Amino acid sequence: MLLCNDRDLNKNYPRFRTKDIFGINGVGEKQLIHPHFIKWHKWIINEYIPPSKRILVFIPCAAIKPYYNSPIHKEFNKIIDKFPTHKVVITNAGVIPYEFAGCYPFNSYDWNPVYETKNLKKKYIELTKRRISNYLNAHSQKYIGFVAYLNPISESLKALEKVHINRENNIHIVKIDKIKLLPTSDFDLVLIYKKNLERLKKTLEIRRDGIISSKK
Protein backbone atom coordinates (compact mmCIF):
# COMPACT_ATOMS: atom_id res chain seq x y z
CA MET A 1 0.00 0.00 0.00
CA LEU A 2 1.32 3.39 -0.99
CA LEU A 3 1.99 6.03 1.64
CA CYS A 4 1.79 9.75 1.11
CA ASN A 5 5.53 10.14 0.81
CA ASP A 6 5.80 7.41 -1.83
CA ARG A 7 7.19 8.68 -5.09
CA ASP A 8 4.54 6.89 -7.14
CA LEU A 9 1.76 9.08 -5.79
CA ASN A 10 0.74 12.28 -7.54
CA LYS A 11 2.93 15.00 -6.04
CA ASN A 12 0.18 17.61 -6.28
CA TYR A 13 -2.20 16.19 -3.71
CA PRO A 14 -3.26 18.62 -0.91
CA ARG A 15 -0.89 19.28 1.95
CA PHE A 16 -1.44 21.31 5.09
CA ARG A 17 1.13 23.19 7.10
CA THR A 18 -0.87 22.60 10.29
CA LYS A 19 -2.87 19.44 11.00
CA ASP A 20 -6.20 20.00 12.74
CA ILE A 21 -6.49 16.70 14.59
CA PHE A 22 -9.05 18.00 17.07
CA GLY A 23 -11.12 19.66 14.35
CA ILE A 24 -11.45 16.63 12.08
CA ASN A 25 -12.37 14.22 14.89
CA GLY A 26 -15.88 13.91 16.21
CA VAL A 27 -19.44 13.62 14.95
CA GLY A 28 -21.03 16.85 13.82
CA GLU A 29 -21.62 19.20 10.93
CA LYS A 30 -18.14 20.65 11.40
CA GLN A 31 -16.65 17.22 10.68
CA LEU A 32 -18.73 16.96 7.50
CA ILE A 33 -17.58 20.25 6.00
CA HIS A 34 -14.14 20.65 7.53
CA PRO A 35 -12.03 22.79 5.14
CA HIS A 36 -9.33 20.10 4.89
CA PHE A 37 -11.90 17.57 3.68
CA ILE A 38 -13.36 20.09 1.25
CA LYS A 39 -9.94 20.95 -0.20
CA TRP A 40 -9.24 17.26 -0.82
CA HIS A 41 -12.66 16.72 -2.40
CA LYS A 42 -12.10 19.57 -4.86
CA TRP A 43 -8.68 18.16 -5.76
CA ILE A 44 -10.05 14.62 -6.21
CA ILE A 45 -12.79 15.93 -8.51
CA ASN A 46 -10.77 18.44 -10.51
CA GLU A 47 -7.18 17.14 -10.64
CA TYR A 48 -7.01 13.50 -9.59
CA ILE A 49 -6.77 10.88 -12.32
CA PRO A 50 -7.98 7.41 -11.23
CA PRO A 51 -6.50 4.23 -12.67
CA SER A 52 -8.18 3.21 -15.90
CA LYS A 53 -9.92 -0.01 -16.92
CA ARG A 54 -10.74 -1.10 -13.38
CA ILE A 55 -13.92 -2.02 -11.53
CA LEU A 56 -14.72 0.74 -9.07
CA VAL A 57 -15.64 -0.74 -5.69
CA PHE A 58 -17.26 1.57 -3.13
CA ILE A 59 -16.43 0.44 0.42
CA PRO A 60 -16.93 1.90 3.92
CA CYS A 61 -14.38 3.61 6.11
CA ALA A 62 -13.00 1.96 9.25
CA ALA A 63 -12.47 2.98 12.85
CA ILE A 64 -8.81 1.96 12.57
CA LYS A 65 -6.69 4.25 10.40
CA PRO A 66 -5.27 3.88 7.85
CA TYR A 67 -8.18 1.81 6.58
CA TYR A 68 -5.98 -1.00 5.31
CA ASN A 69 -4.92 -1.76 8.91
CA SER A 70 -8.52 -2.54 9.86
CA PRO A 71 -9.17 -6.28 10.42
CA ILE A 72 -12.48 -5.90 8.55
CA HIS A 73 -10.81 -4.27 5.55
CA LYS A 74 -8.08 -6.90 5.55
CA GLU A 75 -10.72 -9.59 5.17
CA PHE A 76 -12.71 -8.15 2.29
CA ASN A 77 -9.55 -6.79 0.64
CA LYS A 78 -8.38 -10.41 0.26
CA ILE A 79 -11.20 -10.83 -2.23
CA ILE A 80 -11.34 -7.39 -3.83
CA ASP A 81 -7.62 -7.28 -4.53
CA LYS A 82 -7.76 -10.48 -6.59
CA PHE A 83 -9.70 -8.61 -9.27
CA PRO A 84 -8.91 -5.59 -11.46
CA THR A 85 -10.46 -3.15 -9.00
CA HIS A 86 -10.04 0.36 -7.66
CA LYS A 87 -11.37 0.88 -4.14
CA VAL A 88 -13.03 4.16 -3.15
CA VAL A 89 -14.11 4.81 0.43
CA ILE A 90 -17.38 6.59 1.24
CA THR A 91 -17.21 8.40 4.57
CA ASN A 92 -17.99 11.68 6.30
CA ALA A 93 -14.57 12.88 5.13
CA GLY A 94 -15.55 12.48 1.49
CA VAL A 95 -15.26 10.03 -1.38
CA ILE A 96 -11.68 8.86 -1.04
CA PRO A 97 -9.55 6.79 -3.44
CA TYR A 98 -7.95 4.06 -1.35
CA GLU A 99 -4.39 4.93 -2.32
CA PHE A 100 -4.70 8.09 -0.19
CA ALA A 101 -5.68 6.18 2.96
CA GLY A 102 -2.27 6.93 4.49
CA CYS A 103 -2.55 10.66 3.86
CA TYR A 104 -3.68 13.31 6.32
CA PRO A 105 -6.52 13.94 7.09
CA PHE A 106 -7.78 10.49 6.08
CA ASN A 107 -5.31 8.72 8.37
CA SER A 108 -6.27 10.81 11.39
CA TYR A 109 -10.03 11.42 11.63
CA ASP A 110 -12.72 9.46 13.44
CA TRP A 111 -16.52 9.44 13.08
CA ASN A 112 -18.65 7.15 15.21
CA PRO A 113 -22.14 6.68 13.66
CA VAL A 114 -23.53 5.77 17.08
CA TYR A 115 -23.54 9.49 17.89
CA GLU A 116 -25.32 10.66 14.75
CA THR A 117 -28.56 12.56 15.35
CA LYS A 118 -31.53 12.30 13.01
CA ASN A 119 -30.83 15.76 11.60
CA LEU A 120 -27.13 15.02 11.16
CA LYS A 121 -27.93 11.80 9.29
CA LYS A 122 -30.01 13.79 6.80
CA LYS A 123 -27.15 16.24 6.26
CA TYR A 124 -24.66 13.39 5.89
CA ILE A 125 -26.80 11.64 3.28
CA GLU A 126 -27.41 14.78 1.23
CA LEU A 127 -23.78 15.94 1.27
CA THR A 128 -22.44 12.46 0.55
CA LYS A 129 -24.89 12.03 -2.33
CA ARG A 130 -23.47 15.18 -3.93
CA ARG A 131 -19.91 14.03 -3.36
CA ILE A 132 -20.57 10.63 -4.94
CA SER A 133 -22.30 12.31 -7.89
CA ASN A 134 -19.36 14.67 -8.31
CA TYR A 135 -16.94 11.76 -8.33
CA LEU A 136 -18.91 9.76 -10.88
CA ASN A 137 -19.49 12.78 -13.11
CA ALA A 138 -15.77 13.50 -13.11
CA HIS A 139 -14.34 9.99 -13.38
CA SER A 140 -16.89 7.33 -14.36
CA GLN A 141 -15.53 7.11 -17.90
CA LYS A 142 -12.28 5.71 -16.51
CA TYR A 143 -13.96 2.61 -15.09
CA ILE A 144 -15.29 -0.56 -16.68
CA GLY A 145 -17.68 -1.58 -13.91
CA PHE A 146 -19.18 -0.35 -10.63
CA VAL A 147 -19.81 -2.27 -7.40
CA ALA A 148 -20.80 -1.19 -3.89
CA TYR A 149 -19.99 -3.25 -0.81
CA LEU A 150 -21.54 -1.30 2.06
CA ASN A 151 -23.41 -1.97 5.27
CA PRO A 152 -27.16 -2.01 4.49
CA ILE A 153 -27.98 0.23 7.48
CA SER A 154 -25.32 2.83 6.71
CA GLU A 155 -25.96 6.42 5.66
CA SER A 156 -23.27 5.92 3.03
CA LEU A 157 -25.41 3.32 1.25
CA LYS A 158 -28.52 5.49 1.58
CA ALA A 159 -26.60 8.35 -0.04
CA LEU A 160 -25.40 6.10 -2.87
CA GLU A 161 -28.94 4.87 -3.51
CA LYS A 162 -30.06 8.48 -4.01
CA VAL A 163 -27.46 9.16 -6.69
CA HIS A 164 -28.87 9.32 -10.20
CA ILE A 165 -27.38 6.33 -11.97
CA ASN A 166 -27.40 6.12 -15.75
CA ARG A 167 -26.90 3.04 -17.90
CA GLU A 168 -23.23 3.84 -18.41
CA ASN A 169 -22.33 3.70 -14.72
CA ASN A 170 -24.86 1.23 -13.35
CA ILE A 171 -23.69 0.32 -9.86
CA HIS A 172 -24.26 -3.21 -8.60
CA ILE A 173 -24.96 -3.04 -4.86
CA VAL A 174 -23.97 -6.33 -3.25
CA LYS A 175 -26.85 -7.71 -1.16
CA ILE A 176 -25.76 -8.03 2.47
CA ASP A 177 -27.33 -10.52 4.87
CA LYS A 178 -27.71 -9.07 8.33
CA ILE A 179 -26.36 -10.97 11.30
CA LYS A 180 -27.06 -10.62 15.01
CA LEU A 181 -24.40 -8.50 16.66
CA LEU A 182 -23.87 -7.15 20.15
CA PRO A 183 -24.95 -3.51 20.54
CA THR A 184 -21.30 -2.61 21.15
CA SER A 185 -19.98 -4.41 18.06
CA ASP A 186 -18.77 -2.73 14.90
CA PHE A 187 -21.77 -2.81 12.54
CA ASP A 188 -19.45 -3.43 9.59
CA LEU A 189 -18.70 -6.92 10.88
CA VAL A 190 -21.55 -8.02 8.60
CA LEU A 191 -19.18 -7.36 5.69
CA ILE A 192 -16.93 -10.25 6.68
CA TYR A 193 -19.77 -12.71 7.19
CA LYS A 194 -18.99 -15.70 4.96
CA LYS A 195 -22.14 -15.51 2.82
CA ASN A 196 -21.63 -11.80 2.20
CA LEU A 197 -18.01 -12.29 1.20
CA GLU A 198 -19.11 -15.04 -1.19
CA ARG A 199 -21.60 -12.63 -2.79
CA LEU A 200 -18.88 -10.02 -3.15
CA LYS A 201 -16.61 -12.53 -4.87
CA LYS A 202 -19.39 -13.70 -7.19
CA THR A 203 -20.28 -10.12 -8.11
CA LEU A 204 -16.69 -9.29 -8.98
CA GLU A 205 -16.37 -12.50 -11.00
CA ILE A 206 -19.44 -11.56 -13.04
CA ARG A 207 -18.17 -8.04 -13.61
CA ARG A 208 -14.73 -9.29 -14.57
CA ASP A 209 -16.05 -12.00 -16.91
CA GLY A 210 -18.43 -9.55 -18.53
CA ILE A 211 -15.56 -7.21 -19.20
CA ILE A 212 -13.46 -10.00 -20.71
CA SER A 213 -16.36 -11.12 -22.92
CA SER A 214 -17.00 -7.60 -24.17
CA LYS A 215 -13.40 -7.36 -25.37
CA LYS A 216 -13.62 -10.47 -27.54
The per-residue pLDDT for 216 is: 44
The per-residue pLDDT for 5 is: 56
For residue 16, being part of any structural domain is answered with no
Percent of the chain with pLDDT over 70: 86
Whole-angstrom distance, CA of residue 178 vs CA of residue 191: 9
Whole-angstrom distance, CA of residue 38 vs CA of residue 200: 31
For residue 14, being part of any structural domain is answered with no
Q: What end-to-end distance do the CA atoms of the chain give, in Å?
A: 32
Q: Is the peptide bond before 60 cis (omega within 30 degrees of 0)?
A: no
For residue 122, being part of any structural domain is answered with yes
For residue 127, being part of any structural domain is answered with yes
Domain range for 106 is: 21-215
For residue 187, being part of any structural domain is answered with yes
Q: Is the pTM of this model over 0.75?
A: yes
Give 71-129 pLDDT, tens digit per residue: 999 999 999 999 999 999 999 999 999 999 999 999 999 998 888 899 999 999 999 99
Whole-angstrom distance, CA of residue 143 vs CA of residue 211: 11
Whole-angstrom distance, CA of residue 150 vs CA of residue 146: 13
Weakest mean pLDDT among 2-6, 32-36, 174-178, 207-211: 2-6
For residue 45, being part of any structural domain is answered with yes
Give 4-20 pLDDT, tens digit per residue: 655 555 568 999 999 99
Which of 2, 27, 51 is CA-nearest to residue 155? 27
CATH of the domain at 150: 3.40.50.10630
The per-residue pLDDT for 114 is: 80
